Each structure stands twice: as C-alpha cells, then as structure tokens.
Chain A
Amino acid sequence: MMLTDLLRDRITVVWLVLIAATIASWLLGIGHGLPATYAGVCIILIAFVKVRFVGRYFMELRDAPAALLGVFEGWVALVTVVLIGLFLLA
C-alpha cells in the first residue's frame, strides 16, 4: 500500500479547499475597502463551512450514525447563528 494511493483521494481535495478557505478569510480580514460588517459575517461563515468539512470528512461524521451526524450539524448551525447574531449587535 502506497501513501500516494491514499492521498489520491477526496480527503486531499477537502484539505486543499480548507487551505484555500483559510487564505481567503485572511485576505478578507486584511480588508480591501469592504465594509467591516460584511467582511466579518463572511469570515464567520467561512469558518463554520470549514468546521463542517473537518467534522464530516476528518472526523468521518458523514459515515456516522444519523443521530450523531444530526447533533453535529445542529451544533454547527446553532453556533453559527448565535455568533453572527452577537457579531451584528456591535
């Protein structure tokens, strides 16, 4: 079994997407004349898309029993809404 066989897989694409998303939110954080509120909401949303990817692919929750996957998806949705709500309060 070769390491290259294992890396020639969807999981490597997921990793690349996560790296790209990190760079994208960093650039958004530097700000390019975008309104800070708009950039902030985008940055939080990107973070939770990344969280979902880590849970589904790295923690392998997409293959987990539906109840566990449901708890995870519910947790992500709830925390995203609460944090964006509190951010917009400022």
Chain B
Amino acid sequence: MTLRGTVSTDTASDRPALRVRRLPGEEGTWVFLFGDMTVFAILFSVYLYYRAGEADVFTESQMRLNQIFGVVNTLVLLTSSLLVVTAVRVMRRNGSLLARRLIYAAMACGAVFVMNKAIEYGREISDGFVPATNQFFMYFYVMTGLHLLHVLLGMGLLGFMARLVRSGALSPRQRGYLEGGACFWHMVDLLWIVIFPLLYLVK
C-alpha cells in the first residue's frame, strides 16, 4: 500500500468539489514525525509510571510550577500553528509575500515561547529546583528541555520555509519541503499539548 495520493493541480481553490486525498510533505517526513512522536509517547508513559510510585512527591512538586507559563506557551504555539497552516494555504494561491510574513509571525511566536521558558527555568533554578531535586523535576527538565530543542529546530525550519516561499511559485518538491516543515512545526505544538497537562495539570 502506498501513502502517496493524487496531487491536486488545482491552485485556484484548495477545497475542490471532489475531495482529493493528498500526502502533506513526503513519506520520509512522516516516518520521522511518527518516530519522534513515539519517543515522546514512551517518555510520557515512563513519567506516569514513576508518578504512580511517588504520587505525593510529584503532586507537591507540581504545585511549585507556575501554570501561567504553561498556559501562555500553549496559546502561543496554537496561534503559531494557525499562522503556519495559513501560510501553506496562501502559497497554494501563490501569495508569496503574505506567506513569508505569516511564517515570520510564527517564528516570533516561537521566540516568545523560548523567552517564556528561559524566564521559567531561571525562576525554578533560583528557587533551588533543579533536575537533581527529585524525580519530578528530573522529568520536568528532560521533557521540557527535549521539547525546547524541537522548538529551536522548528524555528530553523521556519527560517528555511520563509526563504523557500520567496521564490514565488513552488515546484512539487519545494511544496513537499514547505508542507513537511509545516508539519514538523505542528508536531512541536502537538507535543506541547500533551506535555503541558501531564506536567502542570494532572494530579
């Protein structure tokens, strides 16, 4: 069974009367994305498994976190995802300049996320909560740190996408790169959607 769908050549509208199934990005991109998402899923499972053994320590440590940082960062990433998917749709109508501005706006959201995270880490560390404090904080830094690495990588990809759309009309291969980069950014959003409740909310 192949994953490759029929590529729509209809650029006038991305919502044709008959829905054409097509693959966003390339097959290899999806192997990578699902692999990465599964690594995180295992990390989430291990976290909940150890939490079951020390529920009190985990709940008490969780109370030390400031949920506002988590909420704001969720809203920031959701908004950046809307900007990126809109940029991809704009490019299907060859709106190169608008697409580039939308991607830059998404990068600014990424920068806000990183800044927030830096302030949060700074506060936790100055209060004496470091990875060695206990199991909870170890998982907190590992999970958010790995995710932060993905945010930075994603911002690099957004920069590449902004350069890509500058050329105007895209070849099918370039379109694959644009959609693949966009899907990586959506995965960064998707992972945070799970990390935020697991670390900050679930008691």
Contacts and interface: CB of A to CB of B under 8 A. Distances in A.
Contacts of B179: 60
A1 B186 contact: no
B5 A26 contact: no
Contacts of A39: 203
A48 B55 CA distance: 23
A64 B23 CA distance: 5
Interface string A19-41: 10011011011110000100110
A22 B86 contact: no
B51 A90 contact: yes
B24 A50 contact: no
Q: Interface on chain A toward B: helix, strand, loop, or mixed SS?
A: helix
Contact of A58 (B4, B34, B82, B197): B82
Contacts of B189: 54, 58
A63 B19 contact: yes
A66 B21 contact: yes
B78 interface: yes
Contacts of A64: 3, 5, 21-24
A32 to B, nearest CB: 13
A53 to B, nearest CB: 9
A46 B193 CA distance: 10
Interface string B83-96: 01110111001010
Contacts of B88: 60
Contact of B49 (A3, A44, A75, A86): A86
A11 B186 CA distance: 14
A83 B44 contact: yes
Contact of B202 (A60, A68, A87): A87
Given A29-B202, A59-B24, A54 B81 contact: yes
B82 A67 contact: no
A89 B55 CA distance: 10
B5 A65 contact: yes
8 contacts: A3-B98, A26-B201, A29-B67, A51-B190, A55-B190, A58-B81, A75-B38, A86-B45
Given A58-B81, A67-B2, 11 more contacts: A3-B86, A22-B78, A29-B67, A43-B202, A51-B193, A54-B81, A58-B84, A63-B22, A64-B5, A82-B41, A82-B45
Interface of B: 1-5, 19-24, 30, 34, 37-38, 41, 44-45, 48-49, 51-52, 55, 67, 71, 74-75, 78-79, 81-82, 84-86, 88-90, 93, 95, 98, 179, 182-183, 186-187, 189-190, 193-194, 196-198, 200-203
